[in-house]
Amino acid sequence: MNIKRLGILTGGGDCPGLNPVIRAVTRRAIQAGISVVGIRNGWKGLITAEIIPLDLQSVSGILPKGGTILGTSRTNPYKHPEDLARVKENLVKLQLDVLIAIGGEDTLGVATKLSKEGVNIIGVPKTIDNDLSATDFTFGFDTAVNIAMEAIDRLHTTAESHHRIMVAEVMGRHAGWIATYAGIAGGADVILIPEEPIDIDAVCDIIKKRHSRGKDFSIVVVAEGATFKEGSNISTEEKLDEFGHVRLGGIGQILSGLIEQRTGFETRVTVLGHIQRGGSPTAFDRVLGTRFGVKAIELVLEGRFGQMVSLQGNKIAAVPIEQGTGTLKTVDPQLYQLAKTFFG
């Protein structure tokens, strides 16, 4: 197949490293004689046919920029049949021979379905949560971990001065990768993740024991998706997004209240929220995004549609898109066990 023009979109939550992918895709495609258009705001832009041409000029200087120059949305074209029809219509109208979809479980879930319907798609996995299967890491995760680690370091000094318990709520909807990595790196005294329900008695015991050996401050890191035993996700509002997800948040506040009540130690909470997703990507994420982008174009040139780029060890490989989204990659129990060595 002679590929003349491709479209690229970014969907779901933004993530440091998206712009390096957009730059790499554009530069490598232009080298191969393929013209590139950016689709605005994820799948939404394919429903409304909102595009911007991408050339060497427009992707110049974006490598260190956080966010996505294309914009993003959580639009699900499979929610309304008329939207899906428009997506298919616009792919033809805009003369897009191939689509590069950069996203997480939701965006790549849509990409999988479209690919099965015959659309030429290459997937690029993205999420700060690092919970996509079939890739060892996603870009954005390293940046988020470093931001969370720095926050934990800062919480440490104030916790120590005031003899307080500091609870840091970090992102991580289904998996506690950010909490585990940032917690290990920041020397957290307790790390709580969605993979293991919270046992509040055990948490308070760890803190009390630590205090009884003379350490009168503690750091507790909790992933936003963590739940209490027999409990469900804590969210600030009931509204679901188009993929059926609630807006998480609030577990840190509840946890902090319970710890203070049960231990008698003054406890404060810090919710890092979107700070973890904003700003400039780390060197690791810039390099990974760049490698993913170049590989995506190699796959286009080889006609390997329906594939997703992936990091396997230190090599960039390709796997069927659905392998990335079929099952979520939760925290390695051995790693979490290792983290527990330093609890208390």
Residues found near ligand F6P in the complex (CB under 6 A): 13, 104, 127-129, 171-173, 224, 247-248, 277
- Taking residue 239's Cβ as centre, other Cβ atoms within 10 Å add up to 9
In the bound complex, what is the minimum distance in angstroms from residue 217's beta carbon to ligand F6P? Answer: 27
Residue 87: half-sphere exposure toward Cβ, Cα within 13 Å: 27
Residue of minimal Cβ distance to ligand F6P: 171
Closest CA to 70 of 90, 53, 84: 53
Measured from the CB atom, is 141 or 343 closer to ligand F6P? 141
In the bound complex, what is the minimum distance in angstroms from residue 34's beta carbon to ligand F6P? Answer: 30
10 Å CB burial of residue 5 (0-12, 13-18, 19+) is middle
Q: Out of 129, 142, 189, 285, which one is annotated catalytic?
A: 129
Partners of residue 248 on adjacent β-strands: 235
Residue type, 58: S
In the bound complex, what is the minimum distance in angstroms from residue 42's beta carbon to ligand F6P? Answer: 12
Report the alpha-carbon distance of residue 78 to residue 87 in Å, rounded: 10
In the bound complex, what is the minimum distance in angstroms from residue 41's beta carbon to ligand F6P? Answer: 13
Measured from the CB atom, is 149 or 159 closer to ligand F6P? 149
10 Å CB burial of residue 18 (0-12, 13-18, 19+) is buried
Measured from the CB atom, is 23 or 173 closer to ligand F6P? 173
Tokens of 48: 């409304």
Distances in Å between the Cα of 42 and the Cα atoms of 37, 74, 238 are 13, 7, 24
Measured from the CB atom, is 129 or 322 closer to ligand F6P? 129
Measured from the CB atom, is 243 or 292 closer to ligand F6P? 243
Contact yes or no for 107/11 (Cβ under 8 A) = yes
Contact yes or no for 149/229 (Cβ under 8 A) = no
Contact yes or no for 266/165 (Cβ under 8 A) = yes
- Annotated active-site residue 136? The verdict is no
Measured from the CB atom, is 160 or 196 closer to ligand F6P? 196
- Taking residue 312's Cβ as centre, other Cβ atoms within 10 Å add up to 12
Active-site residue list = 129
